[in-house]
Structure 1
Amino acid sequence: MRKALIVGIDHYDHLNLLTGCVNDAFAVRAAVLRNSDGTLNFPSPQVVTGTNSEQRVFKRDLKEAVRKLFADDSDIALFYFAGHGYIEDTGGFLCASDSETGDDGLALAELMHIVNRSRARNKVIVLDSCHSGAAGNSAVAAGIAEISDGVTILTASTADQESYETPGGGAGVFTSLFVDALNGAAANLVGDITPGSVYAHIDQSLGPWAQRPVFKTNVKTFVSLRRSEPPIALADLQALTTHFPSPDLRFQLDPTFEPERSAGERDGTSIPLPDPAHTAVFTVLQRYVKVNLVRPVDAPHMWHAAMQSKSCELTVLGQHYWSLVDKGLI
């Protein structure tokens, strides 16, 4: 059972109005609803939006929705929030539509109390709000996070920073990258998109001078937030150990592996003709090159490696996936 609560609040009775949070909420819903192959991922995600004065999100309702999300033993409970955030010396807050000062919103300490006591096996909190990096921080020890087993927190900014919208408004910078990651930018070679890979994508995209995302986790293994189309077929990936019996092997090539010939090479008698069995293997090797599993040795491209009877070898990433295949983990 996979449950998701997605909240986006643009309308505030007393605080500045926002313009992109509701859009962000629906973008996240579209991204998590189904896997790339069309299968359901988070069935019937609950979307709560504060759009205008007629459709507001009250603190009591936000807190109750969070309680219901984390109330049972679901496989994964995902909470996403986009809206105003506030921080003071007593901690951080998520602001509801009826917040007047900020410190009357849902306290991050209350949120984490609910999350840490939840029986859900995986609890994932994603916050696109100012000062959201304070989530999970200890109330008594600076620089210490207190999160229970199975909890992961991903926030748009540190406790001291604001969270920004894209130029022109309409979407949050953080959430735009979060959705890109879910849509495949953060997928590994088997198509899994994990909180760790999502953070890595956002971290690299924001750079050192922009708002800095925060990642806190206490898990033994990462859960997959969504499955994307893998960049290489599983059968090809599992064949790594067939083509490379050892991870440090240099695979010897020759012109019979390369199917393409120029006019002069076709007419010459010194260059052997392509071997269909070899060219089939060479096609797989080239797929490995495209996803950085294999590289030619002492040659700029695989074509040169074959035509010059050189070799190819596993990259560091290739050796990692070779080990996973060898251990039966893929």
Structure 2
Amino acid sequence: MRRALLIGINDYPKNPLKGCENDTLRMQSVLETHENGNPNFDCKLLLSSKKSVTRSEVRKHIKKLFNHEKGTALLYFSGHGATTIAGTYLVTQDAKPEDVGVSLMEIVAIANNSKADEVVIILDCCYAGDAGNTIDLNERKVILREGVSILAAASADQYSYEKNGGGIFTNIIYDALKGSAADVRGKITLSGIYYTADIFLNAWSQRPVFKSHVSHMISLRNCTPKISLKILRKLPVYFDGDSTGMTLSENYLQARTPLATVMKHLQKYQDNGLLIPIEASTLHEAALHNKSCSLTALGCYYKSLVMQNRL
């Protein structure tokens, strides 16, 4: 079972925001199903335009989200974040100077005590990178139980920005979940999403923060594989034993032959970084001049997975 609580707050009495609800709806659209339309996360929304998003409402729904046994629980928040001497908070609509919302420390504590197999927390708000930090350790250590991961829009002392009616960070996450962070098999993991955000947000921008204590990476969403499993599983056939290279010839260029099919598969490998031509700029040129091609480190990795029956 996969559950997601998605919270978006635009309507603050002071300093209202513009894009948080839209960001939340976009996240719902990309998390509810995999690319092929199969069900993914069962999403629950808290939107400030529909109902007042108060401290008690947020606490109640977070506890309910993380209280279920087994499966994956995902929390997404888009709104204001605030830092105080008592810690960092997700700001709710009923914020007061002495009680601005729900503390990240409390949320992480609930997550750490959750019975869910995997817990994912995605925060698009200012100071979100403070989530999981421990005050007594000068914010240099994080305490997360196994299975908990946090992806934050900015470090503990940074703002998170909106642009063109939406959060810059959420826009990156949305595109990543749509497929820009998918691996060769079409799997999108939280580490892959972070890698995408890390590239987009330069050293002078808000810096995304990724904290995780997991023994394996789950796929948050599946897209169409860039290379089908059937073709991936041909790697040990084409590159037998310890071999990582293959000599080509003009025979691979003749249409409607078994070698032409092999050539199509080799081209798929090259297009996705698993293979490179040697002493030629293209596989076609390599075949014309009886040159070779060779697996890259990534190609060897996938070949090894196939040989170990991991794919």
Q: Does the pair score TM above 0.5?
A: yes
Q: CA deviation at 1:16?
A: 0.4
Identify the match of residue 161 of structure 1 among 140, 158, 162. Answer: 158
CA distance, structure 1, for counterparts of residue 126 and residue 113 of structure 2: 25
Q: Does 1:236 align with 2:235?
A: no
**Aligned partner letter, 1:199:** Y
Q: Does 1:147 align with 2:144?
A: yes
> 1:1-330 residue pairs with structure 2 within 5 A?
1-13=1-13, 15-43=14-42, 45-51=43-49, 55-101=51-97, 103-142=99-138, 143-166=140-163, 168=164, 170-259=165-254, 276-330=257-311
Partner SS state of residue 3, structure 1 = strand
Cα distance, 1:88 vs structure 2:
2.0
TM-score by length of 2: 0.97
User: 2:74–2:119: 8 Å Cα contact kept in structure 1?
Assistant: yes
SS of equivalent residue, structure 1 residue 328: coil
- CA distance 1:81–1:294, shift in 2 (3 Å): same
Report the secondary structure of 2:259's partner residue.
helix
* CA distances 1:274-296 after superposition (whole Å, capped 9, x unpaired): 67121111111111111111110
* SS of corresponding position for 1:225: strand
Structure 1 residue 136 displacement after superposition: 0.3
Secondary structure, aligned partner of 1:309: coil
Question: Conserved in 2, the CA contact under 8 Å of 1:133 and 1:155?
Answer: yes
Gaps of 5+ in 1: 260-273
Alpha-carbon deviations, 1:302-329, whole Å to 9, x = none?
1110000001000111111111111111
Measure how far apart 1:248 and its partner are: 4.2
Contact 2:81 2:91 in 1 (8 A): yes
Cα RMSD for the two superposed structures? 1.3
Query: What whole-Å deviation, never above 9, does each CA across 1:225-283 have from its counterpart, x for those lacking one?
Result: 11111111110011111111145432010111113xxxxxxxxxxxxxx6712111111
Instruction: State the SS of the aligned residue for 2:96.
Output: coil
Residue aligned with 2:212, SS: strand
Q: CA offset at residue 103 of structure 1?
A: 4.6
* Alignment-mate amino acid for residue 33 of structure 2: R
1:326 maps to a residue whose letter is: M
Runs of 5+ unmatched residues, structure 2: none
Q: How many percent of aligned residue pairs carry the same amino acid? A: 36
Aligned length: 310
Q: 1:85–1:136: structure 2 CA closer, same or farther, 3 Å change rule? A: same
SS of residue paired to 1:295: strand
- CA distance in 2 between counterparts of 1:287 and 1:38 reads 25
SS at match of 1:153: strand
SS at match of 1:70: helix
Q: 1:102 Cα shift?
A: 7.7
Please give the alpha-carbon distance, in whole angstroms, between the structure 2 residues aligned to 1:211 and 1:137: 18
Shift of the alpha carbon at 1:116?
Answer: 0.6
Contact in 2 for aligned 1:94/1:106 (Cα 8 Å): yes
Q: 1:305 is aligned with what amino acid?
A: A
CA distance in 2, matches of 1:160, 1:220: 29
1:161 to partner: Cα distance: 0.2
Q: Which amino acid aligns with 2:45?
A: V
Larger radius of gyration: 1
Shift in CA distance, 117/302, structure 1 to aligned 2, threshold 3 Å: same
Q: Distance in 2 between matches of 1:248 and 1:207?
A: 40
Contact 2:82 2:100 in 1 (8 A): no
The structure 1 segments of at least 4 consecutive aligned residues displaced by more than 2 Å after TM superposition are 100-104, 246-249
Cα distance in 2 for residues equivalent to 1:154 and 1:248: 40
SS in 1 for 2:135: coil
Q: Which moved more, 1:134-143 or 1:305-314?
A: 134-143
